Amino acid sequence: MRKDSRLSRMLHVLIHMDRLGGPATSERIAKMLSTNPVVVRRTMAGLREQGYVTSVKGHGGGWSLAMPLHKISLLDIHNALGESSVFTIGLSDEYTHCPIEQAVNKAIKDVLIEAESLLLERFGEVSLDVLAEGFVDLPAPSFDEGKGY
Amino acid sequence: MRKDSRLSRMLHVLIHMDRLGGPATSERIAKMLSTNPVVVRRTMAGLREQGYVTSVKGHGGGWSLAMPLHKISLLDIHNALGESSVFTIGLSDEYTHCPIEQAVNKAIKDVLIEAESLLLERFGEVSLDVLAEGFVDLPAPSFDEGKGY
DNA sequence: TTTCATGTAACTTATGATGTTTCTTAAATT
DNA sequence: AATTTAAGAAACATCATAAGTTACATGAAA
């Protein structure tokens, strides 16, 4: 089943952005992610709406962090990306008034809710500055020269 | 993102099968699930390989439960369906030796592992007989007449 | 006023699950 | 023995949707 790696990739980008002097263009970020500027804009738009990044048009423009990394958690970015569910597991809806289907779906749903709660809680506990720790002086060659890093 | 409802649907089917006198044909199960006999065979094949159901060819053949419901857990069927991961969230692999990407991916992965462990543990605690309880005398009209139930 | 960069809509492509067709194998009924 | 019923399996078609692409509008700086 298809995976959504936007969270991982956006976190990676945000931490590199934190080291950049100025804004990063969609073009530049797209090269880093081996993708395409429009896809970057699409994805970053969600983060901008929630106030984590800002975008500036025109010459010298691009994307910038709107707050320090320690104020951003994995949960924040996860939510900003707006993916409905974290699970590939879904419930059937063929016979919604069959009591057996109801019992089956309730059992599965209860477990999914519990597991998702734990996951979101843990995501909320990790802020991006912690992930960036220990690499403070590291440049970001991937930003400048494609797959160098 | 696409959902995989095979677990929910197969559990539903297995519990109904438990009430049937004889074997259920792929055709019959397919009608119940509004799908197609080949898809049913494909899905049931995994359950057969793990010993939860048996199949018999020819006249009067079809699918039967190979053990009582109390010996089968949600985890058993989940595993038998052979889905690799329960999460839609994936990790990036663009810069596997970038320490930032590594840190990001490790943080996400740790959370996914913890949440998946909880989920699998809970799935293991629920056996199918519990889901079937309280509906002992209920017939399975959905098996006989399409969407009636 | 030209260049650079985002914003947005519309469209195309790629991928993977699901659905379908066709034929084979095997077992029970006639 | 021939027929019918049903699973097994391979090959192919369809569908949903995320990702990628194109094209053009908007806005800001050089």
DSSP B69-129: GGG-BHHHHHHHHT-S-SBSB----S-TT-HHHHHHHHHHHHHHHHHHHHHHHHHHH-BHH
Per CATH, is B6-84+127-148 categorized as 1.10.287.3510? no
Mean pLDDT of chain B: 90
Domain ranges of chain A: 6-148
What is the per-residue pLDDT across B64-96, written as a single tens digit (0 to 9) for each? Answer: 999 999 999 999 999 999 987 899 999 998 877
A chain contacts of residue B124, beta-carbon cutoff 8 Å: none
Q: How many angstroms separate the CA of B91 from the C1' of C15?
A: 18
> Is A47 at the interface with chain B, CB within 8 A?
no
B chain contacts of residue A147, beta-carbon cutoff 8 Å: 94-95
Phi, then psi, of A72 in degrees rounded to 5: -115, 130
Chain centroid to CA B55: 17
> Is A89 at the interface with chain B, CB within 8 A?
yes
- Nearest CB among B16, B89, B132 relative to A4 is that of B89
Q: Tell whether the model's pLDDT for residue A27 goes beyond 70.
A: yes
What is the per-residue pLDDT across B124-135, written as a single tens digit (0 to 9) for each? Answer: 999 999 998 866
HEC secondary structure over B30-44: HHHCCCCHHHHHHHH
> Is B121 at the interface with chain A, CB within 8 A?
no
Q: How many CA atoms lie within 13 A of A49 on its CB side?
A: 11
Contact criterion met (CB < 8 Å) for B94 and A132: no
Phi, then psi, of A37 in degrees rounded to 5: -55, -35
Contact criterion met (CB < 8 Å) for B99 and A134: yes
Lowest mean pLDDT among A127-136, B12-21, B38-47, B76-85: A127-136
Mean pLDDT of A50-68: 97
Contact criterion met (CB < 8 Å) for A89 and B123: no
B chain contacts of residue A104, beta-carbon cutoff 8 Å: 8, 11-12, 15, 131
What is the per-residue pLDDT across A81-140, written as a single tens digit (0 to 9) for each? Answer: 998 789 999 999 887 788 999 999 999 999 999 999 999 999 999 999 999 886 655 554
Give the CATH class of A6-148. Answer: mainly alpha
> Is A21 at the interface with chain B, CB within 8 A?
no
> Is B94 at the interface with chain A, CB within 8 A?
yes
How many pairs of residues across A and B have Cβ atoms under 8 Å apart? 192
- Nearest CB among B87, B114, B126 relative to A87 is that of B87
Contact criterion met (CB < 8 Å) for B98 and A12: yes
Q: What type of residue sits at position B72?
A: I
CB atoms closer than 10 angstroms to residue B65: 20
**CB A26 within 8 Å of CB A44:** yes
